[in-house]
A and B are shown apart, each in its own frame.
Chain A
Amino acid sequence: MTLFFEQCLNGLQFGLLLFLLAAGLTLVFGIMDLVNLAHGSLYMVGAYFAATFAAWTGSFVFGAVLALCATLVVGMAVEVIVMRRLYGRDHLDHVLGTFGLILFFDEAVRLIWGPAGLSLPLPSWLAGSVQILPGFQYSSYRLAIIVVTLSVAAFLYVLVMRTRIGMLIRAGASNREMVGALGVNIKLLYTLVFGLGAALAGLAGLMQAPILTVQIGMGENILILAFVVTVIGGIGSIRGALVAALLVGILDTLGRAFFPDILRTMLSPTAASALAPALSSMLIYLLMAIVLVIKPEGLFSAGNK
């Protein structure tokens, strides 16, 4: 039972992290109608900045804050230099252009930081594990990730539902032309939204950095998962992204945890151990396909196109 509970916590943590990535993606997608494959590059850049700044300042928290600001700036710069020229273009142009950006970012990072990757050591107060329930220890850092991401989710909720900017964001997601017609400085709004998305991706990257590594191409695998989450949730919907991220995170973790054992009861041990990792990796894609076949616009579609 504790094992099941622990796996659920693991799934929750993974899901919440995916939410950070998917939230930025879904905002940019919903408001600017931009397919941004380079979102994963911002995740990578955030992690590299964090590792660098943490080494300079000698403080994990300082490094993280500086890295967040730096990623925000990089994001806004990318928006001003490249992305705004892509608005209103065909989705395939976005795919080609932002794919070019991925190649550029990967190589630029290799030129600046070298191919070896970096490490971001945990501060000692986060390195151990804490007792949540009697006899049940859990990694304090993973717990910290859960707390931080939940606060960010709450912040996003307030931002989107309770502020003027949020109102414009919501309006933009459902009807872009109308927001422009209302005399809002749409260029600035776009730059801000893109920067916000970049900062969220950077936050995800820097929080993953201590338990994963900081390396080139780290954003590409998780990018696809973030897209899966975005689409399951419904493009443009923050709430959808949250629900879908938790679904994907928990399904993926529980699948990996229990699927092999279930399969072993049905198949020979050798066949099961070869097939289980493949099939449990398939689960999220299966989930996405089923959701889209039943609800072709995702669980919570924001747009009304």
Chain B
Amino acid sequence: MLLAAGPAIGPATAQQKTIKIGFVSTFSGPTAVIGNDMRNSFELALDHMGRKMGGIPVEVIYEDDGLKPDVGKQKTEKLIESDKVDFIAGYIWSNVMLASLKPIVDSKTFLVIANAGPSQIAGELCSPTVFSTSWQNDQTPQAMGTYMNSKGVKSVYLIGPNYAAGKDMLAGVASTFKGKVIGQDLTTWPSQLDFSAELAKAKASGAEAVFVFYPGAAGVQFLNQYAAAGLKGKIPLYTAFTIDELSLPLQKENALGVPGAQEWVNDLPNEQNKKFVADYRKKYTGLRPTFYGAQSYDAAQLINSAVVATKGNLSDKVAVQKAMEKADFKSVRGNFKFGNNHVPIQNFYLQDVVKDADGQLSLKTVATIVKDDQDRFHDKCPMK
């Protein structure tokens, strides 16, 4: 009796009582700061909507992946099977995302990825119910490579961590950079803390510039050591995802004048962004939103746009999908559209670290590096 397959999940009621959203991110350990920023921004978006979507109250369940793929997958399953959520959002890490993808796709739950951008999900693993409000990993460093060309850089040394995103980043910069990649080092992630050996090699290689990708605290360590090794100001440093509002208070002067590429910067001149940044700083005193937060804010807006368009009837999956594909909301990065693989086609900007009016360090948009950039894996996605 028991071995017979259990009853299928009950049909979703046409008239929703609440919109249930599961949010998976890292809320424990050293990278909890990123998860907190994402949660803060998601909550702020809900505040802005009056905590209702299309007139229906919203309930969000936050789950901590602990930076572990298997834990992330288990929490994802809990959200789908136990909480029976309508949408899942979040995910910082490419490897956690890849591990959690299967139960989401199998259950046809709508997923809005607010950060992770592994090439597989942009390519062969793309799915009708999976959307991203971030980017594909390679895009940001590709923009950096383009910028380095414009600066006339002839040779570069690449350094990054040895995991999915790290390899994507270095491959991304090498794909657009026209000069010579003199050498590259992948370091053990996340346990390697000291980059003295790699910095010595970069210095000895005679490269004109160094490109680096180190998210979170590792970015602080790298910049500190770059300065301590006496390289700052001698060899120009180019970065992706290494300097943000979370790491900047720790990097301090070491980050001054170090350029990075980003799809969102806090000073982008659109109304939605001004409101987002101002209200964030008002609600969470002493904190500044990051691109992780901006992407999470957009994730909430994307979900809201679909709920409103379908008048809360989430049982019609095709209608929800069609509504989401329109990306009909005011993004904090300025409007974007989705490619066939549900990854945004968007601008990438050059950001720099400057001292603002109150003498504090802040990130500032300097230029637009590429316009309407689409990731290079969208051809591999079977969706048209």
Show the binding face of A for B, using Cβ within 8 Å. 2-3, 6-7, 10, 13-14, 106, 110, 115-119, 121-122, 127-129, 137, 139, 141-142, 208, 210-213, 215-218, 221-222, 253-254, 256-257, 260, 273-274, 276-278, 280-281
Contact = CB atoms under 8 A, between A and B. Distances in A.
B352 to A, nearest CB: 21
A3 B196 CA distance: 11
21 contacts: A10-B200, A117-B33, A117-B220, A121-B252, A139-B229, A139-B230, A142-B196, A210-B224, A210-B228, A213-B221, A216-B29, A218-B30, A222-B193, A253-B196, A253-B197, A257-B200, A260-B185, A273-B186, A274-B167, A274-B186, A281-B188
Contacts of B229: 129, 139
Contacts of A210: 224, 228
B150 interface: no
B32 interface: yes
A137 B194 contact: no
A217 B29 contact: yes
A43 B249 CA distance: 23
Nearest to B191: A221
Contacts of B249: 116, 119
Contact of A211 (B29, B30, B197, B224): B224
A129 B194 CA distance: 17
A204 to B, nearest CB: 12
A248 to B, nearest CB: 13
Contacts of B184: 273
Contacts of A139: 228-230
Nearest to A139: B228
Contacts of B225: 211
Contacts of B40: none
Contacts of B186: 273-274, 276-277
B227 interface: yes
A142 to B, nearest CB: 7
B187 interface: yes
B162 interface: yes
Interface string B19-48: 000000000011011001000000000000
A222 B217 CA distance: 16
B230 A128 contact: yes
Contacts of B221: 211-213
B215 to A, nearest CB: 13
B200 A216 contact: no
B246 interface: yes
Contact of A6 (B32, B190, B200, B246): B200
Given A14-B194, A139-B230, A212-B194, A277 B30 contact: no
A7 B227 CA distance: 17
Contact of A213 (B190, B230, B250): B250
Contacts of B198: 256-257
Nearest to A106: B29
A119 B221 CA distance: 10
Interface string B173-212: 0000000000011111011111011101100100000000
Report the 9 A-B pairs with minimum CB-CB distance, sorted nearest first.
A129-B230, A119-B250, A10-B196, A115-B32, A257-B197, A3-B204, A215-B30, A221-B191, A277-B162
Given A14-B194, A257-B200, A260-B185, A115 B228 contact: no
Nearest to A137: B230
A80 B314 CA distance: 60
Contact of B33 (A116, A142, A254): A116
A119 B251 CA distance: 8
Nearest to B205: A3
B252 A7 contact: no
Nearest to A122: B228
Contacts of B30: 115, 117, 215-218
B344 to A, nearest CB: 28
A142 B196 CA distance: 10
Contacts of B227: 127
A139 B226 CA distance: 10
Interface in B235-278: 246, 249-252
Contact of A117 (B167, B192, B193, B217): B217
Contact of B36 (A115, A253, A274): A115
Given A211-B225, A217-B29, A277-B188, A119 B220 contact: yes
Contacts of B220: 117, 119, 213
Contact of B252 (A115, A119, A208, A212): A119
Contacts of A216: 29-30, 32
A145 B252 CA distance: 22
Nearest to A216: B30
A118 B247 CA distance: 10
